[in-house]
Structure 1
Amino acid sequence: MKQEIEAVFIDRDGTIGGNGHFIHPNHFELFPNAQLAIDLLKKNNMKVFAFTNQHRISRGEATLEEFETQFKQYGFEHSYICPHGINEDCSCRKPKAGMLLRAAKEFQLNLSNCAVIGDVGDTDMLAAHQVGAIKILVKTGWGEESLGQFRDQWKETEPDFIARDILEAAHWLVIQSRL
């Protein structure tokens, strides 16, 4: 069953690098295979977008521009970043689907032909589930904990694929697009 994958939304912390916690863009390091994964998706004609909650922006610990610059350096076509505080009422903070819906409008995307790759079940996977996107959970960052002790927080959905890391997730998506 070949499925055209129009775009891939990728979480930052714990998915492409870091440890799942906030790390300032000036100190953030990609996992060794993350750039390869991003490049592989792009090489296979998929748009690649950053998709991240960064409430530390609201605290003045980093700027939106610093994140946007970082994502451009990694080759992301565009970045969707929720800068709001945890207790602010916004439509973009995952698990809400606001960032995905905005991207769909801006890039004329059918979200059921898009994928979300992330390490947190109760944010990344729930946001993807709301819009019918393909859900890929990576075991890096908070992934193992999402599948274990925090599984009850997102029990209403199942990932479409569980990957050991971002590169395995990218390979799986490329294979799905060719079947």
Structure 2
Amino acid sequence: MKTILMDLQGTLGGDPLGDISSFEFYPKVLKGLKLLADHGYRLVVVTNQSRISKGNISKEIYEAKKNEIVLEVKKFGISNLEFYCCPHTRDDGCSCKKPKTGLFEKANSYIKIDKENSYMIGDMGMSDMMFAHNIGIKKILVLTGVGAGSLNEYRDTWIKTEPNFIAEGFYEASLWLTNNS
């Protein structure tokens, strides 16, 4: 199935370096999600939430906020938003922390992802763009969150790959996708 894998914080909204508890959507993101859903894309959030493992937020707080986000999206007419979360730190040695591919493998085992017609949208080169590179899918870097810094002063952390498109934000990425795929 054609799929949009997307980062949460810094891409869809919230503090790119914070935790999910204070998440709020950036302007026009819900409109972009609706556009992608209406074009038949499976919508999959893949998020690193290491503050769970560090003890800064509980799994229950994460789940409650995730459920609020899903409910807000449903009120906007989008019923197919999925979440896959890595709660680990780098030191935990997991296979799911982006740019490792465990979150993709989990989502792919649930419904087969058509890599040729799927994209990753994210703001962080060293995790989101490298995650897409490691999977072998197309990538869109958004300049929200830490996207501008990823593209400029931190470009060396993901020099192995190039984004297929650079967008001002998620809505612009969704417009480009629906017009070019």
* Worse-matched range after superposition: 55-64 or 89-98: 55-64
SS at match of 2:12: coil
Runs of 4+ in 1 over 6 A off after TM superposition: none
Distance in structure 2 (CA, Å) of the matches to 1:148 and 1:6 = 30
Given candidates 78, 84, 99, the residue that maps to 2:103 is 99
User: What is residue 19 of structure 1 aligned with on the other side?
Assistant: 15
For residues 91-123 of structure 1, give each alpha carbon's deviation from its aligned partner in whole angstroms, at most 9, with x where no partner exists: 100011111122112101122321100000010
User: What is residue 33 of structure 1 aligned with on the other side?
Assistant: 28
SS at match of 2:178: helix
Q: Gaps (5+ residues) in structure 1?
A: none
Contact 1:116–1:136 (8 Å) recurs in 2: yes
Distance in structure 2 (CA, Å) of the matches to 1:167 and 1:19 = 18
Please list, as runs of the form range in 1=range in 2, the aligned pairs for 1:24-103 lying within 5 A after superposition: 24-25=20-21, 27-60=22-55, 61-63=57-59, 64-73=62-71, 74=73, 75=78, 76-103=80-107
Distance in structure 2 (CA, Å) of the matches to 1:176 and 1:121 = 22
Please list, as runs of the form range in 1=range in 2, the aligned pairs for 1:123-162 lying within 5 A after superposition: 123-162=127-166
Q: Gaps (5+ residues) in structure 2?
A: none
TM-score in terms of structure 2 length: 0.89
Aligned pair count reads 172
* Worse-matched range after superposition: 149-158 or 64-73: 64-73
RMSD: 1.5
1:78 positional shift: 1.2
Contact 2:15–2:23 (8 Å) recurs in 1: no
TM-score in terms of structure 1 length: 0.90
User: What is residue 119 of structure 2 aligned with on the other side?
Assistant: 115
